[in-house]
């Protein structure tokens, strides 16, 4: 079932354990992101209500709420950056078992050397 989320991902039996771990890591990160986005939605609603109320204490409370919102957004950005990095690493790891992947990488490196200005 889990392999169905990424068709073609982990086509060999020896990749199944790695792929399951990768998918669990991705799922954990996406759950964290979703939780933060839900929290941000509530923060934004409260900030808007406080702003509309014009009550000084509520407006003062917005300073902390906006700070919390900014921190949540920063955390979401970091989680997405980690997801991107982990996905890239997993694809590299996945292709290392493939003999054509190694040849492709060495050809790419050779190609870079040839393209350098003389």
Interatomic CA distance for residues 58 and 80, integer angstroms: 32
Span of 31-45, 69-83, 94-108 with lowest mean pLDDT: 94-108
Instruction: Give the CA count within 13 Å in the CB-facing half-sphere of 8.
Output: 2
DSSP state of 97: T
Interatomic CA distance for residues 36 and 23, integer angstroms: 20
Per residue in 24-61, pLDDT (tens digit) is 888 999 999 999 999 999 999 999 999 999 999 999 99
Q: What is the pTM of this model?
A: 0.62
């Amino acid at each position: 079932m889990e392999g169905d989320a990424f068709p073609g991902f982990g086509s060999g039996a020896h990749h199944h354990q790695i792929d399951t771990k990768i998918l669990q890591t991705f799922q954990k990160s996406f759950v964290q992101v979703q939780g933060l986005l839900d929290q941000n939605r509530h923060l934004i609603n409260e900030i808007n209500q406080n702003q509309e109320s014009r009550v000084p204490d509520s407006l003062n409370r917005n300073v902390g709420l906006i700070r919390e919102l900014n921190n949540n957004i920063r955390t979401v950005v970091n989680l997405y950056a980690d997801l991107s990095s982990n996905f890239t690493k997993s694809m590299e790891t996945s292709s290392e078992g493939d003999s054509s992947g190694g040849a492709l990488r060495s050809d790419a490196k050779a190609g870079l050397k040839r393209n350098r200005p003389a």
